[in-house]
Amino acid sequence: MITYLLVFALSLFTVALSIKPLITVAIRKRLFDAPSESRKIHKRIIPNLGGLAIFTGFLLAAALFVDISSFWNANYILAAGVIIFIIGLKDDLIGVDPMKKFAAQFLAGFLVTILGDIRIMNLGGLFGIHELAYPFSVGLSIFLFVGFINAYNLVDGIDGLAGFLGLMTALVYAGLFYYAGYPQWTCICLALAGALAGFLVHNVSPARIFMGDCGSLMLGFMVAALTIQFINVAGKAVIEIGSVSVSSAPALALSIAVLPVFDTLRVFTIRIINNQSPFKADRNHMHHRMLALGMNHMQATATLVSVSLVFIATAFFLQKIGNNQLFATLVLVIILLNTTLSIYLYSKKILDEVAVPGSNLNSAGDRPGKPNGAGAKFTSEGNEFAEKVLREVSTEMDQEHLS
- List the binding residues for Mg(2+): 153, 213
Q: How would you label 388-399 residue by residue, b for 16+ Cβ within 10 Å and e otherwise?
A: ebeeeeeeeeee
What number of H helices and E strands is found in the chain?
A: 15, 6
User: Residue 130: helix, strand or coil by DSSP?
Assistant: strand
The binding site comprises 153, 213
Q: 308 and 259 in contact (C-beta within 8 Å)? A: yes
What type of residue is 128? G
CB 58 within 8 A of CB 11: yes
Nearest 5°: phi and psi at 118?
-95, 95
Q: Which residues pair with 244 in a beta bridge?
A: 241
Residues facing residue 240 across a β-bridge: 245
- CA distances in angstroms from 298 to 12, 22, 109, 162, 351, listed in the order given: 21, 24, 33, 12, 21
* Cβ proximity of 186 and 65 under 8 Å: no
> In what helix (H) or strand (E) does residue 8 lie, and over which residues does it extend?
helix 2-28
Cα(16)–Cα(224) distance, integer angstroms: 25
φ/ψ of residue 324, rounded to 5: -65, -45
